Structure formats: C-alpha cells, structure tokens
Amino acid sequence: MTSKDTRVALVTGGSRGIGRATVLRLAQDGFDVAFCYQSNDEAARELEKQVTEIGVRVLARKADVTDAEAVKALVAETEDLLGPVDVAVTAAGITRDNPLVMMTEDQWHQVLDVNLDGVYNLCRSVVFSMMKRKSGAIVNLSSVAGVYGNATQTNYSASKAGIIGFSRALAKEVGRYGIRVNVVAPGFIDTDMTSVLTGAVKDKALEQVPLGRLGTAEEVADLVGYLASDRAGYVTGSVLQIDGGITI
C-alpha cells in the first residue's frame, strides 16, 4: 500500500559505509527507503530494523548493481511496495587498487562494472518514471579521485570521473522535466575502505588534510540528504566535494 504523500528513496550499496549512513539520513528526513546490498545479510537486517524503528517503511534486497535486470526488478518492486522513486542514490562502489603495470583486466573491469555501470543501471531504471512525473532527484557518489586522480587507482579514478561526466550530461537532459542530478565527491572518509589502511599510511594521508581528520559517513550522508531535499531545488549538475580540504 502506498501513499501519495509518501516520498520514496532508493539507495544502492545501502548496507555499509556511506550508503548505510545515507539510508538512515533519508529515513530520518521522512523518506520511505529501499536499499540493495551485495552480500552482508546480517548488516542489512540490522539496518532494516533501525529504519523501521525510525517510523518509516523499508525494503532491503540483495542485488548485484552490475546486473541490469536485477536493478530493474529492484526498482519495480520498490515502486510496487513503496511507491514511485522520488530520490535515487548510487552509493555502491568497490576498489581494486594496483599500479597500472600490475593491474589485471579483471581488476579494471570489476571496478568499472560496479562503480560506473551500476550508476547507469540504476539511473536508467528510474529516470523515465521521473520524467513522466516531472520531478525527482538523483545523487551519484563519486570521489575526489575522480576529480584529481589518485596513483594506483587508475580504474577507480576512471570510474569516478565517468560518474561525473555521466551525471552532468544527464542533468542537462532531464532538467526540463524537473529532475535534478548531482554528484557528491568524498575525500578521505572513515569507512570499511579506509579501515584496512595501516597506521603509518593513514597518518601520512591525514597530513594532507587541512582539517586533520577523516570525514565521517554521516557527514557525507548529510550532504546527500541536502541534495535530495527541496532545499537544493536550484542545484543540478554540481559536483560537491566533501574532503576536509585535501584538494586545496
């Protein structure tokens, strides 16, 4: 059962890190939230419980964002159970770091498939319905690596730069339909991806951050929440960096 007054958000990569924080942020902002995840059933169930306790509806599904049919099915089920998707957030992402001379074809294609094709698959699945309703907001998660590049991350940087170009082009296409498309480009954020770094590597990285600390997933989610809201009604085609000043 759906309500005309209900706003619905769909988040990929929702069970951990920035995706998880975004699901909670949007739920706290009053959205019913659907999210997909790759493999961690326990984390998904825990998040599902937290969202339910906030007082909104939630749909959690295991889905591979590289599988276009699986993403279409996720969107269809979301629309059927919760209602039309008002906000789409692409937070699913992976890294497979290596210097280019050592990078395998699998490492290249895995990262591009998840990080870039995953964005295409979700946006392609939600945008037509948004166009018909003449409203909607899409927030794609990129990275400062996609803006400035990062050594040993040619695959990751390429995928995240691709997201920026994709999003700007889409913003130009669908703006006349009342749809906004924006990009959030985080810097050094305290997530599972950074938790594997050794103390020395992390300390060296923090030396480059003027604010002198890691960002939090919640801080990134707050920015996503702003872009998803009516407060950002005149913001589209933007790439908003949240990086503690590391790129100054």
From the annotation, which residues make up the binding site for NADP(+)?
13-16, 156-160, 189
Alpha-carbon separation of residue 1 from 4, 84, 236 (angstroms): 10, 12, 32
- Those residues with Cβ within 8 angstroms of residue 129's Cβ, 6 or more apart along the chain or in another chain: 79, 84, 85, 136
Residue whose entry in the numeric block shows the structure tokens 């669908």? 174
Q: Do the beta carbons of residue 86 and residue 136 sit within 8 Å?
A: yes
Given the residues 156, 177, 226, 234, the one annotated as active site: 156
Which of 167, 147, 141, 202 is CA-nearest to residue 16?
141
In angstroms, the CA 97 to CA 104 distance is 10
Q: Is 156 an annotated catalytic residue?
A: yes
Q: Among all residues, which ones are annotated catalytic? A: 156
